[in-house]
Structure formats: C-alpha cells, structure tokens
C-alpha cells in the first residue's frame, strides 16, 4: 500500500528537483571561486583562498623538501602573517591542501609563541586563542620560553617544539583577502548586464525600424502580392506591433 503510493509520487518529483538544485550549487560554486580567487595578493606566488583569507604554502623546487628554522619562517612571511588557525575547519583546510604541495607529511610552523607575562600561548597577530588541537603526548624538555608550535600535516595535531633548536619543513603564510575587490566583482557583472540589455534594446528597435521602413517601401514599390508574405512569417507579438503602427500611420 505505502510502497505503491511512493511509486506514484516519486516519478513526479524526482526529475525536476535534483537537477535544478545541482545547477544552482554549480553556478554558486563557480561564482564563489571566481570572486574569491581574485582577492589574494598578486605577487607572483600561489595564494590559495579559503573563507576570507589567503594562504601561501612554501615549497622547494623539484620536490626537494626544505628545512626552515622558526626565524627563517617568520622572515619568509614578512608582510604577511605566519599561519594562525582559529577553527577546526581552518585546521582541516591546511590538512587537505598540504598533500598538493608537499609529498610526505611535514610539520608546519604556526605563528604562536609562549607569552611569559600571561604564561600561555599567544598568536603573533594578538588574536585570542580560540582553537587548539594539541596532540596527546606532551613533549620532552622544552623550556616554556622556548616553546613554539608545529602542526603535523598528516594528523592535524599540534606539537610543542623548540623555537631555537628545531627545524621544520613546512611554512605557510596567511593574509586577509582584500575587501575592496570583492565589491568590484558584482558591479562588473551588473555593468555587463546593463550593456547587454542596452544592446538588446537597440537590436529590437533596429528590427522594428527596419520593418517599418520596409513597410513604407513595400507599399510604394512592391505589389500587394509581394508585400504581404513577410509579415505572415513574423511572430505574433511583432506582427501585432506592426499592425498597430499600420493603423496609426493611416489616418
């Protein structure tokens, strides 16, 4: 009984819904990608957009893994910030993208340091530490003052390492997307639409003008037999318009 009801209802609903929803999602994704990609720094480096930030993953040439001290990592990101992570989603993004840059698992420097005044970890950006992802095993003998943090690109876990003695293989710089350019995109789309509609209006007017001219010519030069057929071919809307003009022009 129930299955037969579903059997009747399903074919009606299914074919329309998923297709249009998929289409919308696709258009949205394409639009989002286009509008996001343009807002990262154009300095010749590869910046990967995620949410409202951009990330640059440093990688050596020819797949060679490089080693960076913490000081070197900070220098490489000058003008931008060393990677900070404020949510599980952001942590996941780094995890997902790392294999596209580095062949194996690497440890990535985070822009975090031990603040001796507040006696806890802080971001260099001064943003509050809202999210952490510490691994379970505490590290062996690292002085609190020498505590830096590295993210394991395979597990996503954070490890305390020595700022002075350790070298890591991953450096990621981060920066905000420029807000100015996000505003430019929709207006570009809008002006394209305006131009298109102007072109369409001009085109339609030209056709109407042409038909009007032809009508005037036709009545004087062509015979009645040759004059009628072109108007029968016209679509109903246009032919009605022309008819209206005809009645107007003959007082």
Where on the chain is the footprint of ligand NAG (CB under 6 A)?
Answer: 114, 121, 134-135, 138-139, 144, 147, 160
Nearest approach, Cβ of residue 108 and ligand NAG (Å): 16
Residue 216 is encoded by which pair of tokens? 């005037």
Query: Which residue, 40 or 142, has its beta carbon nearer to ligand NAG?
Result: 142
Query: Which residue, 163 or 172, has its beta carbon nearer to ligand NAG?
Result: 163
Give dist(CA 214, CA 232) in Å, integer. 14
Find the angle CA(135)-CA(141)-CA(142) to the nearest 5 degrees.
Answer: 75
Nearest approach, Cβ of residue 121 and ligand NAG (Å): 5
Nearest approach, Cβ of residue 53 and ligand NAG (Å): 24
Query: Within the chain, what is the greatest distance between any pair of CA atoms?
Result: 106
Question: Which residues, 6 or more positions from 160, have their beta carbon under 8 angstroms from its beta carbon?
Answer: 138, 139, 142, 147, 148, 149
Give dist(CA 216, CA 226) in Å, integer. 13
Give dist(CA 235, CA 187) in Å, integer. 35
Query: Which residue, 40 or 112, has its beta carbon nearer to ligand NAG?
Result: 112
Query: Which residue, 122 or 214, has its beta carbon nearer to ligand NAG?
Result: 122
Nearest approach, Cβ of residue 61 and ligand NAG (Å): 33
């Amino acid at each position: 009984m129930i299955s037969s009801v579903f059997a009747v209802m399903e074919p009606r609903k299914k074919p329309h819904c998923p297709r249009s929803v998929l289409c919308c999602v696709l258009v949205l994704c394409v639009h989002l990608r286009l509008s996001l990609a343009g807002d990262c720094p154009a300095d010749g480096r590869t910046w990967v957009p995620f949410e409202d930030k951009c990330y640059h993953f440093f990688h050596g040439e020819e797949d060679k893994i490089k080693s960076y001290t913490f000081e070197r990592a900070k220098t490489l990101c000058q003008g931008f910030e060393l990677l900070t992570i404020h949510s599980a989603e952001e942590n996941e993004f780094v995890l997902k993208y790392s294999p596209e840059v580095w062949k194996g698992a690497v440890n990535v420097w985070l822009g975090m340091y031990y603040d001796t005044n507040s006696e806890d970890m802080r971001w260099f950006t001064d943003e509050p530490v809202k999210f952490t992802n510490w691994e379970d095993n505490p590290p062996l003998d690292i002085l609190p003052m020498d505590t830096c943090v590295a993210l394991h690109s395979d597990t996503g876990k954070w490890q305390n390492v020595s700022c002075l003695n350790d070298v890591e293989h991953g450096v990621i710089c981060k920066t905000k997307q420029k807000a100015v350019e996000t505003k430019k995109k929709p207006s570009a789309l809008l002006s394209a639409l305006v131009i298109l509609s102007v072109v369409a209006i001009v085109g339609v007017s030209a056709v109407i003008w042409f038909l009007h001219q032809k009508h005037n010519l036709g009545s004087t030069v062509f015979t009645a037999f040759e004059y009628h057929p072109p108007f029968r071919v016209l679509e109903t809307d246009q032919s009605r318009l022309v008819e209206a003009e005809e009645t107007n022009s003959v007082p």
